[in-house]
Amino acid sequence: MNPGIEEKPEEPEKRVWIGPPKLTRFERARIVGARALQIAMGAPILIEPSSKLTNPIDIALEELKRGILPITIRRTLPDGVTYQDIPLKWLL
């Protein structure tokens, strides 16, 4: 470290280190369930409402399919200490 030189913080590498490089069925179910509950409780919908999308689960599935949910998945290794936060967009 040189005292006169500012070091940039390292940008996290855009790579999935823990788990498969796609969304698992368990993660998908958790995301859709949590988002459907938010919608049912009155959260704003992130897509344009239509006549065929009336059920909160269908709306949550469509939001996930379009990739507009600002969600981060935390995958933890069995040691309980090591984890990786992965933006949802990387897994879709």
Query: What CATH number does the domain containing 32 carry?
Result: 3.90.940.10
Instruction: Express each pLDDT in 51-71 by its tens digit.
Output: 888 899 999 999 999 999 999
Range of the domain at 84: 25-91
CB within 8 A of 53, min separation 6: which ones? Answer: 47, 59, 62
State residue 37's pLDDT score.
97
Q: What pTM was computed for the model?
A: 0.79
Instruction: Express each pLDDT in 19-53 by its tens digit.
Output: 899 999 999 999 999 999 999 999 999 999 888 88
Please name which of 69, 86, 84, 79 lies closest in space to residue 34, comparing C-alpha atoms.
Answer: 69
Q: Is 55 a member of any domain?
A: yes
Q: What total number of domains does the chain contain?
A: 1
Q: Is 79 a member of any domain?
A: yes
